[in-house]
Amino acid sequence: MTDTQPITYYTPNRRITALDRQIAMYLSVETGRPVTVKTRPRKRWKFWARPDTTHPTLAEALQEALAP
């Protein structure tokens, strides 16, 4: 992994909020890497009970990005 690889995380919100943008800007400054925020695709009603394991949350993306 290179240090310039972007960090991508998926917000739990339906839309990207101002807070998501502020978090992304802060992380970009702190890590020196580009940060991308995305929204999760909408789920069908029968899949609501299942945890979403394919799209990393902010914590998972940070853990992966900052791992040695």
Work out whether strand 7-11 and strand 35-39 pair parallel, antiparallel, or are unpaired: parallel
- pLDDT at residue number 18: 92
Entry pTM? 0.62
- In a structure prediction context, what are the per-residue pLDDT tens digits for the chain, which is 68 residues long? 556 788 888 888 788 999 989 989 988 898 888 999 988 777 665 555 566 667 777 888 878 877 76
- Phi and psi for 34 in degrees, rounded to 5? -70, 145
The closest of 28, 53, 49, 27 to 40, measured between CA atoms, is 53
Q: How crowded is residue 61: how many other Cβ atoms within 10 Å of its Cβ?
A: 20
The continuous run of DSSP H or E covering 10 comes out as strand 7-11
Contact 35, 64 (CB under 8 A): no
Q: What is the pLDDT of residue 2?
A: 56
**Sequence spans of domains, the chain:** 7-62
Amino acid found at 11 = T
